[in-house]
């Protein structure tokens, strides 16, 4: 889990600065759209790819940079996030329901938009994908290639979630 | 009081925008929702309501926000269109404005930011 020198040089961000940017972007999304204060515990000591009773929202980048930004969240915390975003009661949010999936996908989308701002000032040479959401009782998320990544653990509501960013500079 | 069309593929975001418009104290009467540009065009052509303002996402499936702005203007719809989007890049926003959008608001946003940007349009 590190950022190589090629990415650092092209973005003018070292790993710590990129992590701080993602931390601030995540805090901004949560403070304005979820009304939730976050703690962070960067750096993550060991990689986490295996999730239980969780939901993962992902948005891809394609163009001069490729990669994925993702949020991995326990379902119970995801329900609290959904309730806060939509003004719903927890019992109204169904496991695997549209509201839960859409809320986590939209958080990934907003984080993707924030990261895109540092990858592409004009915005036309990097495209964002439509959000993808997966959820399950026991699943693993792996990148097929060994590309650079930053993963940040956050704490909220006595629970933890991860925001991960993988990036590759295209030729 | 204004009728507003919200075009966004995220139902969560449509609900948040609707709630934020009312929290911002803007003079909102009816809100019509569409999940992409095609549904947005259908709403303009068939809702039977006079739409006073359109708020549109950019990154959407089927017909994205830039195509939607062009289609709306080509169809003769002249109400203000404001892009509400995660896409804050200068060139994308310039393309939206050149296509006929009035302004843009970056997600995430606060009700106060909505009020500041939209207050003069309603």
- pLDDT tens profile B108-122: 998 889 999 998 898
Min Cα distance A46 → chain B (Å) is: 31
User: How many structural domains are present in chain B?
Assistant: 1
Q: Tell whether the model's pLDDT for residue A61 goes beyond 80.
A: yes
Q: Tell whether the model's pLDDT for residue B106 goes beyond 70.
A: yes
B2-7 and A39-40 strand pairing: unpaired
pTM of the full structure:
0.91
Q: Which of A30, A32, A69, A81 to mutate to test the interface with B (most CBs of B within 10 A)?
A: A32
Asked whether residue B15 is domain-assigned, the answer is yes
Q: Tell whether the model's pLDDT for residue A86 goes beyond 60.
A: yes
Beta-carbon separation of A106 and B108 below 8 A: no
- pLDDT tens profile A97-110: 899 999 999 999 99
User: For A5-169, which CATH superfamily applies?
Assistant: CheC-like (3.40.1550.10)
Q: Tell whether the model's pLDDT for residue B88 goes beyond 90.
A: no
Beta-carbon separation of A105 and B13 below 8 A: no
Q: Tell whether the model's pLDDT for residue A112 goes beyond 90.
A: yes
**In the predicted model, what is the mean pLDDT of residues A117-139?**
91
What mean pLDDT is reported for chain A? 89
Report yes or no: B78 at the A interface, CB cutoff 8 Å.
no
Percent of chain A with pLDDT over 70: 95
Q: Which of A102, A116, A122 sits opposite B11 (nearest CB)?
A: A102
| Whole-angstrom distance, CA of residue B1 vs CA of residue A8 | 51
- pLDDT tens profile A150-163: 899 999 999 999 99
CA distances from B10 to A11, A102, A114, B61, B89 (A): 30, 6, 17, 11, 20
Alpha helices (H) in chain B, listed in sequence order? 11-23, 37-46, 65-74, 90-99, 111-118
CATH number of the domain within which B76 lies:
3.40.50.2300
Beta-carbon separation of B59 and A130 below 8 A: yes
| Whole-angstrom distance, CA of residue A149 vs CA of residue A135 | 22
Asked whether residue B122 is domain-assigned, the answer is no
Asked whether residue B86 is domain-assigned, the answer is yes
Bigger pLDDT: B85 or A42?
B85
pLDDT of residue A2: 63
Min Cα distance B13 → chain A (Å) is: 7
Name which of A8-12, A52-56, B108-112, B114-118 the model is least confident about. Answer: A8-12
CA distances from B12 to A20, A136, A139 (A): 27, 21, 25
pLDDT of residue A146: 62
Asked whether residue B121 is domain-assigned, the answer is no
Beta-carbon separation of B107 and A110 below 8 A: yes
- pLDDT tens profile B32-65: 999 999 999 999 999 888 999 999 999 999 999 9
pLDDT of residue A134: 95
Q: Which of A57, A71, A123 to mutate to test the interface with B (most CBs of B within 10 A)?
A: A123
pLDDT of residue B94: 94
Beta-carbon separation of A102 and B91 below 8 A: no
pLDDT of residue B53: 97
Name which of A2-6, A46-50, B4-8 the model is least confident about. Answer: A2-6
For residue B108, cis peptide bond before it (omega within 30 degrees of 0): yes
| Whole-angstrom distance, CA of residue B75 vs CA of residue B44 | 9
Beta-carbon separation of B10 and A128 below 8 A: no
Q: Write down the domain spans for chain A.
A: 5-169
Q: Which of A28, A29, A130 sits opposite B9 (nearest CB)?
A: A130
Bigger pLDDT: A55 or B24?
A55
Q: Tell whether the model's pLDDT for residue A142 goes beyond 90.
A: no
DSSP state string for A69-83: EEEEEEHHHHHHHHH
- Listed in sequence order, the residues at least 6 apart from A27 whose beta carbon sits closer than 8 Å to its beta carbon are A37, A38
User: Hey, what are A44's tokens?
Assistant: 């993550």
pLDDT of residue A3: 64
pLDDT of residue A76: 95
pLDDT of residue A164: 93
Using an 8 Å Cβ cutoff, are B99 and B92 in contact?
no
Beta-carbon separation of A99 and B12 below 8 A: yes
């Amino acid at each position: 889990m590190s950022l190589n020198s090629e990415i650092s040089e092209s973005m003018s961000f070292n790993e710590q600065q990129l992590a701080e940017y993602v931390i601030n972007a995540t805090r901004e999304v949560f403070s304005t759209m979820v009304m939730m204060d976050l703690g962070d515990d960067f750096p993550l000591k060991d990689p986490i790819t295996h999730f239980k009773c969780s939901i993962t929202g992902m948005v891809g980048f394609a163009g001069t940079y490729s990669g994925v930004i993702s949020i991995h969240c326990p379902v119970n915390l995801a329900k609290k996030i959904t309730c806060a975003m939509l003004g719903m009661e927890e019992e109204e949010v169904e496991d695997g329901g549209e509201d839960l999936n859409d809320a986590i996908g939209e958080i990934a989308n907003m984080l993707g938009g924030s990261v895109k701002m540092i990858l592409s000032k004009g915005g036309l040479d990097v495209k964002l994908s439509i959000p993808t959401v997966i959820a399950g009782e026991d699943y693993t998320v792996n990148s097929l290639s060994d590309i650079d990544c930053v993963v940040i653990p956050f704490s909220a509501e006595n629970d933890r979630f991860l925001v991960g960013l993988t990036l590759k500079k295209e030729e | 009081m204004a009728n507003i069309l919200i075009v966004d593929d995220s139902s969560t975001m449509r609900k948040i925008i609707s709630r934020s418009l009312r929290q911002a104290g803007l003079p909102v009467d009816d809100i019509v929702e569409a999940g992409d540009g095609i549904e947005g065009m259908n709403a303009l052509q068939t809702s039977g309501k006079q739409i006073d303002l359109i708020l549109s996402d950019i990154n959407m499936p089927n017909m994205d926000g830039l195509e939607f702005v062009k289609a709306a203007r080509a169809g003769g719809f002249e109400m203000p269109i404001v892009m509400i989007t995660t896409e804050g890049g200068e060139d994308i926003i310039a393309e939206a404005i050149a296509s006929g959008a009035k302004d843009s608001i970056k997600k995430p946003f606060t009700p106060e930011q909505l009020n500041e940007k939209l207050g003069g349009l309603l």
